Amino acid sequence: MTERSELTPPRGRAHVFVFVHEALPSLLFDDLDKFVDSLREPNAHMALVRFWERVGIVVIERGIGVALPSNGLTLESVDGEGWRGVVVHLPKVEELGDSALVLMMVPNPPLQDLWQFYEERGISLARLFMLKLLHHSSMERPGLKICELSQVLGHVMTGYTCEPNATDFVRKAVEGLDVE
């Protein structure tokens, strides 16, 4: 089931929210392959940490929160049939709305199926998925849910999961997607 949701930054965790919902998408959707590929390079972790720190400065300047340390911030390259990507492991989830993992993926040439559909309609070929701690009225208690941040649809819920590790998260995120 797909739902739309209007989410606001978690109270004390605006740094994570701005990083995941603004900073990463702005680079991913504007620079596509170059951004994902830069995060797959051997020394990308230090660049990611510096980017995290710059987002913390923005959060402080906006007066919406405090800068958080980059503890737990890591990268992992992932590949599938017809796509390549990177999983960003975020600092420990502490509040509702926090993201634990982010998957950013782009197609490998030549474009096929879903990627061609996106290109024909002028939609960004990049995809951004998050594993978020959420609590909806349909849930007994908070749980991790895979969400997609789409330029076209906004924030879309794509399914519950109990798989907080990167391998199972990637499998769940791309399961059912025609990305070949």
Distance, in Å, from the CA atom of 146 to the CA atom of 101, rounded to the nearest integer, reads 9
- Give a yes or no: residue 179 inside a domain: no
The pTM for the full model equals 0.77
Which residues make Cβ contacts (< 8 Å) with residue 62, sequence separation at least 6? 14
Domain count, the chain: 1
- Give a yes or no: residue 125 inside a domain: yes
Q: Which domain holds residue 12?
A: 3-174
Q: What percent of the chain has pLDDT over 70?
A: 74
pLDDT beyond 70 at 107: yes
- Give a yes or no: residue 87 inside a domain: yes
pLDDT reported for residue 2: 37
Q: Would you mind telling me the total number of residues written for the chain in this entry?
A: 180
Q: What band does 173 get if pLDDT is binned at 50, 70 and 90?
A: low
CB 110 within 8 A of CB 128: no
- Give a yes or no: residue 22 inside a domain: yes
- Give a yes or no: residue 180 inside a domain: no
Tell me, what amino acid is at 133?
A: L
pLDDT digits (tens, 9 = 90+) for 45-104: 999 999 999 999 999 999 988 899 999 999 999 998 888 999 999 988 777 778 888 999
Rounded to 5°, angle at Cα 104 from 44 and 111: 115
Tell me the pLDDT of the chain averaged across its residues. Answer: 79
pLDDT digits (tens, 9 = 90+) for 116-140: 777 787 777 888 888 887 766 666 7
